[in-house]
């Protein structure tokens, strides 16, 4: 699901993203496969949610307090 951002009531958990680029960016939130056992493999097969942010815009993405995962801009996973 792609959104333009959620309402930030300054109380609910989440993350604030700012797109400082000159083009729209989509940020994908990936929940971990494993949590609580000392390892945390990202589930890059299925994003929990996605958030499209226009250039020069700040947007809030609400998340559950139980979220353990990663946020990534775009879908390209670079090799290190």
Each residue of 35-80: pLDDT tens digit?
666 667 777 778 888 999 999 999 999 999 888 888 888 877 665 5
Question: In the predicted model, what is the mean pLDDT of the chain?
Answer: 82
The owner of tokens 């604030």 is 16
pTM: 0.77
Asked if 59 and 16 touch (Cβ cutoff 8 Å), the reply is yes
Asked if 54 and 24 touch (Cβ cutoff 8 Å), the reply is yes
pLDDT at 38: 65
């Amino acid at each position: 699901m792609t959104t333009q951002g959620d309402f930030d009531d300054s109380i609910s958990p989440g993350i604030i993203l700012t797109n400082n680029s000159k083009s729209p960016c989509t940020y994908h939130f990936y929940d971990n496969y494993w949590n609580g056992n000392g390892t945390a493999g990202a589930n890059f097969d299925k994003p929990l949610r996605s958030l499209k942010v226009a250039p020069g815009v700040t947007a809030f993405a609400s998340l559950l307090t139980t979220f353990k995962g990663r946020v990534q801009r775009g879908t390209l996973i670079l090799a290190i």
